[in-house]
Amino acid sequence: MDLMTNLMPASAEIFLLVMVCVILIADLLIRQSDRSVTYMLTLLTLIGCSFITVGTHEGGVVYVFHNMFVDDLMSDVLKLLTYLAVSMMLVYSRQYLVERGLFSGEFMVLAMFATLGMMVMISANHFLTLYLGLELLSLSLYAMVALQRDSAHATEAAMKYFILGALASGLLLYGMSMLYGATGSLELGAVSDAIKQGVQDKSLLTFGLVFIVAGLAFKLGAVPFHMWVPDVYHGAPTAMTMLIGSAPKLAAFAFVSRILVEGLQPLVQHWSGMLILLAIASMAIGNITAIAQTNLKRMLAYSTIAHMGFMLLGLLSGDIEGYSSSMFYVVVYVLMSLGAFGMIMLLSRVGFEADKIEDFKGLNQRSPWLAFMMLLLMFSMAGVPPTVGFYAKFSVLNAVVQSGHIWLAIVAVLFSLVGAFYYLRIVKLMYFDAPESRVPILFSQDTTVLISVNGLGVLLLGLLPGTLMSVCAVSVQQSLLLH
């Protein structure tokens, strides 16, 4: 009975792992032309995981495996959103992968292992579990970036990602070992209690905190640890870029909030100062450098850096409103990011990657509906009302003002205005420039439906943001502040 009590909260992870093994074996037995069987199995696995996650939700905060794993409302909400993001990535990228010969069992299995890593990160309550989840996700992504073996760009991107990712993991491990030395525990709650009671070696604790924040900033792609982001986004095939730029951000939010809010909350005075520097630098460099980009994937990479800076603003306020606004922001960002990369894949065809900004010239004359969807996504990223991006930015700024950092909110608004320029430039190209190519845009029915739902979802959530905001607020309140 004790074993079952332990296994129930982790049943979605166990089911996913079993299904990955099934998909691996099934992939060996089917012909190359029947790859859609693997694809359907992968989607059904994600649907199954979502049913299990909903079905095993206890209502409170449940700790299992000697407090190494936690099942709470925030973890369940983030997991459901992760399944949705990975499913959308698979649907968007199917045609793109088929045309490039990458629609293989390896892609599906690596995507599932990455999802498993994200799930472990989201539910971790112990430094070892956090690290295991992070490495499972990271190693899967390194392999996925390098999957297009005949592409020099992809191989170079994978090498950069791997080397810098290994450096970040080293920093995190070093920081965790210092915290263990200072507090005598690796469990987040026990670390927090030990710091509250007073630690003998304060300098060891401070050094550990610095290394952990540096490692977290690397994984988020915050300045000055952002070097890998543009190269990996640009070099990797767009399907892999879409995965890197979407679902892992949800896991990264959980990862950062579990460590800083649950484990290191007593040191909030120390780490909030570091986050202010990271946030300002990320918004400045991300937004200003994005203006100079001619490649859309590189532009979106720099915009990701700026968005991660904005997300950190919510965390540094140190209260429930800030944490929930940060969660709301990251959920909205993932939705917008999926749509933007989905649009690049929609316009791509065999031998042609639609990843240059010029490729969007005159899109309104070629396909008014797609141009309108891209307009909604760009408006949302720029934070123009009534799209949901405006409310995401507003909720974070409101939390920053409430915490007394009014000057920081002004700086964030100024950098948002800079960022609006490069998003609105794409709208201008789509509607006011003549198209360079009159080649008809060919797309499958499922992708058209999905991009429409994605674009209209951004608008609908902007008109009615209350439900998603309250879900984020309730999940953060029940999960993070009960400890």
Query: What pLDDT, in 10s, does the model give residues 150-184?
Result: 888 889 989 999 998 998 899 999 999 999 988 88
Note whether residue 14 is domain-resident: no
Read off the pLDDT of each residue in 123-142 and give the average, rounded to a whole number: 91
| Tens digits of residue pLDDT in 68-77 | 888 888 889 9
pLDDT bracket for residue 137 (50, 70, 90)? very high
Q: First vs last Cα of the chain: how many Å apart?
A: 26
The two tokens of residue 429 are 């190209």
The residue range of the domain holding 153 is 20-479
Residue 212 CA to residue 207 CA, distance in Å, equals: 9
Q: Is 32 exposed, middle or buried (0-12, 13-18, 19+ CB in 10 A)?
A: exposed
3 part of a folded domain: no
Among 62-76, 106-120, 434-448, the range scoring the smallest mean pLDDT is: 434-448
Cα–Cα distance, 427 to 376 (Å, whole number): 9
Amino acid sitting at position 88: M
Is 297 inside a domain boundary? yes
- Of 8-12, 333-337, 375-379, the range with the lowest mean pLDDT is 8-12
Q: What is the pLDDT of residues 440-480, one digit of tens each?
A: 776 777 888 898 999 899 999 888 888 888 988 888 888 77
pLDDT digits (tens, 9 = 90+) for 195-231: 888 777 788 888 888 999 898 888 888 888 888 889 9
Task: Give me the percent of the chain exceeding a pLDDT of 70.
Answer: 98
Kindly state the percentage of the chain with pLDDT values over 90: 35
Residue-wise pLDDT for 257-291, tens only, equals: 888 888 888 888 888 888 899 999 999 999 999 99
pTM score, two decimals?
Answer: 0.93
Instruction: Write down the residue that tokens 């005598």 correspond to.
Output: 184
Looking at residue 111, what is its pLDDT? 93
C-alpha span between 254 and 235 (Å, rounded): 27
Return all residues near 365 (Cβ < 8 A) that are at least 6 apart.
434, 435
d(CA 240, CA 184): 40
Rounded CA gap, 100 and 112, in Å?
A: 21
Angle at 74 between CA 137 and CA 306, to 5 degrees: 60
| 73 within domain boundaries | yes
Residue with tokens 């960022």: 419
pLDDT at 245 over 70: yes
Cα dihedral sign, 145-149-154-159: positive
251, part of any domain? yes
Average pLDDT (423-428) is 90
Measured CA to CA, the distance from residue 77 to residue 8 in angstroms comes to 17
Q: How much is the pLDDT for 481?
A: 59
- Answer yes or no: is pLDDT of 482 > 70: no
Alpha carbon distance 296, 348 (integer Å)? 13
pLDDT bin (cut points 50, 70, 90) of residue 119 is very high
State how far the Cα of 210 lies from the Cα of 245, in Å rounded to an integer: 26
Average pLDDT over residues 369-383: 90
Looking at per-residue pLDDT, the higher value among 43 and 350 belongs to 43
Mean pLDDT of the chain: 87
Where do runs of H (alpha helix) occur along 124-264?
127-145, 152-183, 188-197, 202-220, 228-235, 238-244, 247-257
> Is residue 7 situated within a structural domain?
no
379 pLDDT above the threshold of 60: yes
Q: Is the pLDDT of residue 1 over 70?
A: no
What is the Cβ-side half-sphere exposure of residue 471, based on CA atoms within 13 angstroms? 17
Exposed, middle or buried by CB within 10 Å (0-12, 13-18, 19+), for 60? exposed
**What pLDDT is attached to residue 190?**
87
Q: Does residue 6 sit within a domain? A: no
Residue partners of 271: CB distance under 8 A and separation at least 6: 209, 213, 260, 264, 316
Residue 82 tokens read as 């992760």
What mean pLDDT do residues 332-360 have?
Answer: 85
Rounded mean pLDDT of 358-363?
84
* Secondary structure (3-state) at 70: strand
Contact 128, 61 (CB under 8 A): no
Number of domains making up the chain? 1
Q: Are 125 and 258 in contact (CB under 8 A)?
A: yes
E strands, 250-353, are none
Q: Would residue 67 count as lying in a domain?
A: yes
Model confidence at 483: pLDDT above 70:
no
